[in-house]
Amino acid sequence: MTTNLAGIQLRNPLVAASGTCGYVGELANVLDLSTLGAAVTKSITRQPREGNPPWRIIDVPRAPAMLNAIGLANVGLDQFLGEKLPALQRIGTVVIGSIAGNSIDEYVEIAAAFDQSGQLPAVELNVSCPNTADGLQFGEHPRKLAELLARVRPAITRAKMIVKLSPNVADIVSMARSAIDAGADAITLINTMPALAIDVETRAPRLSRGAGGLSGPAIHPIAVRMVHEVYRSVAKDAGVPIIGLGGVMTWQDAAELILAGSTAVGMGTALFVDPTSPRAVGRGLEKWVARQGCSSVGDLIGQARIP
Ligand SMILES: Cc1cc2nc3c(=O)[nH]c(=O)nc-3n(C[C@H](O)[C@H](O)[C@H](O)COP(=O)(O)O)c2cc1C
């Protein structure tokens, strides 16, 4: 089950997704972290953020899915470096630091600080954030993404740079190509899908902010399709690994993403349903690899039989 993610050795391919395991330490209270290959922190911004008022997470049972508009609530860079990061030194899994920002300068500053900490083998850029300069999301325009990464790449000298893409684009391959051309060491696919739920009695949005991000089983087939397209069109030849995620609840969901081209598989919403679920997913994957007659999970990456 050992997995090589851009030169980082993971115990297995399972990764706790950003924003769904706090600053990682919280998850250690309920799950033996040696069950995971890695865990990604909540996205960190320069300043602390309260986030949106409730409701900011709701269930969408008929989808089935979850809708959230947390508003990037987090402690901010200084408190993360001063309090959260030191507590992660012997946490028992690889920790990846996630970065969010509303300007290129903010991403650069946090990326440099994460890199210089020497404690995070990889940083993941959450590019599903609007740039206050023009209101456009970095992750929805290949040129804006290229501009961002051209500035961030030189600020990261030790850690690996992972770029997490939004599914809210017409052409995911162009976005991935833009990230890879700009020096991404790995690509994460996918972030949540913009969506809206309305309370039919009050006629108001069910989330305080209005729209939010859809996650969970409803988005799984979208993730599988995007991983497959990116792997086949650009990532495989470039030798850039993909962390595939979106609606992974069972080992079969994880296996599908591996066959589509994922080197590692993220779990987010599943941790809200059952924070111990990576255990069963890991065990199921291990048996599946053996049943497929393979000696390593890596032998099955991108091995879907798709004409
Ligand atoms: C409550 C919640 C908070 C999230 N916060 C972040 C975040 O801070 N940064 C980020 O990159 N992704 C964030 N995500 C997106 C997840 O990491 C993941 O990409 C998405 O939920 C799809 O995976 P899933 O269907 O397994 O949840 C969040 C998702 C949820 C449900």
Q: Which of 12, 1, 18 is nearest to 37 (CA)?
A: 12
This prediction has a pTM of 0.98
pLDDT at 3: 98
Question: Using CA of residue 240, residue 241, residue 243, residue 249, what is the dihedral sign?
Answer: positive
pLDDT at 136: 86
The whole-angstrom separation of Cα 235 and Cα 155 is 23
pLDDT at 46: 98
Is the preceding peptide bond at 190 cis, omega within 30 degrees of 0? yes
Q: Is residue 127 very low, low, confident or very high in pLDDT (cuts 50, 70, 90)?
A: very high
Please compute the mean of the pLDDT values over residues 99-109 and round it to a whole number.
Answer: 97
Cα–Cα distances (Å) from 34 to 4, 15, 37, in that order, read 16, 11, 7
Residues lining ligand 1, CB < 6 A?
Answer: 17-20, 42-43, 57, 66, 68, 70, 72, 98, 126, 164, 191-192, 215-216, 219, 245-248, 267-270
pLDDT at 135: 84
Is it the case that residue 220 has pLDDT exceeding 90?
yes
Please compute the mean of the pLDDT values over residues 232-256 and round it to a whole number.
Answer: 98
Half-sphere exposure of 68 (CA within 13 A, CB side): 17
| Residues 155, 179 contacting (CB under 8 angstroms) | no
What is the secondary structure of 130-167 as a DSSP string?
Answer: B-TTTS-BGGG-HHHHHHHHHHHGGG-SSSEEEEEEPS
pLDDT at 296: 98
Q: Which of 5, 42, 24 is nearest to 262 (CA)?
A: 5
Report pLDDT digits (tens) over 28-58. 999 999 999 999 999 999 999 999 999 999 9
Burial of 307 (0-12, 13-18, 19+ CB in 10 A): exposed
Residue nearest to atom 23 of ligand 1 (CA): 246
Is it the case that residue 20 has pLDDT exceeding 90?
yes
- With a pLDDT cut of 70, the percent of the chain lying above it is 100
Residue nearest to atom 10 of ligand 1 (CA): 18
Candidate of 20, 55, 80, 242 to mutate for ligand 1, largest count of ligand atoms within 8 Å of Cβ? 20
| Tokens (6 digits) for 215 | 């996650």
Strand, helix or coil at 8? Answer: strand
Please compute the mean of the pLDDT values over residues 181-205 and round it to a whole number.
Answer: 98
Half-sphere exposure of 8 (CA within 13 A, CB side): 29
| Residues 51, 57 contacting (CB under 8 angstroms) | no
pLDDT at 129: 87
| Tokens (6 digits) for 281 | 């997913």
H-type helices in the chain, by residue range? 25-28, 77-79, 104-117, 142-152, 172-181, 220-230, 236-238, 251-260, 269-273, 277-291
The whole-angstrom separation of Cα 193 and Cα 215 is 7
Residue of 58, 88, 129, 214 marked catalytic: 129
Please state, rounded to an integer, the average pLDDT across all residues of the chain.
97
List, in order of start, the domains of the chain with CATH numbers. 3-52+72-194+216-300 (3.20.20.70)
Residue nearest to atom 15 of ligand 1 (CA): 191
The whole-angstrom separation of Cα 281 and Cα 134 is 42
pLDDT at 132: 81
Catalytic status, residue 129: yes
pLDDT at 240: 98
How many other CB atoms sit within 10 Å of the CB of residue 295? 8
| Residues 240, 184 contacting (CB under 8 angstroms) | yes
pLDDT at 51: 95
Residue 275 makes CB contacts below 8 A (sequence gap 6+) with 27, 30, 31
pLDDT at 130: 84
The whole-angstrom separation of Cα 25 and Cα 73 is 17
Please compute the mean of the pLDDT values over residues 242-261 and round it to a whole number.
Answer: 98
